[in-house]
Structure 1
């Protein structure tokens, strides 16, 4: 016995490409990208801090200075730029 595909055919004909509301998907994507880039920067700063702090002949203050420099440089390059248009 064949399945009734009338509803599926009607839905396929009613669909117009580019008409679906995507604001929630865009917001989710922007949140994911923001968490990814800032999370990556924080992990890189933490790895640098602990690597320099616990290496042989390492110290807390040189590690802290290098980590702050990396954090500021990362913030500078990863911040949101204003839209040109």
Structure 2
């Protein structure tokens, strides 16, 4: 949840989430869906975090002084997933 609170709350692909086994990702997302924190798209490849939950987690991280840590961690993950825009990796 902390990772997702540092990125846009809509259309989150599962490939963007921090490294974990596919089973762990599915289990975590199913748990978040069961508690009503996120919802999945019909295609099953994208997820949305509800805006109120997104804002609440951001405020909680700021209160605990973890906001900068999670922003840096999220930025590193995004940089790893989305490489530089060279011609040979344009589809990514």
Same fold by TM-score greater than 0.5: no
Q: Report the TM-score, using the length of structure 1 for normalisation.
A: 0.29
Q: Which has the higher helix share?
A: 1
Structure with the bigger RCO (C-alpha within 8 Å, sep 6+) is: 2
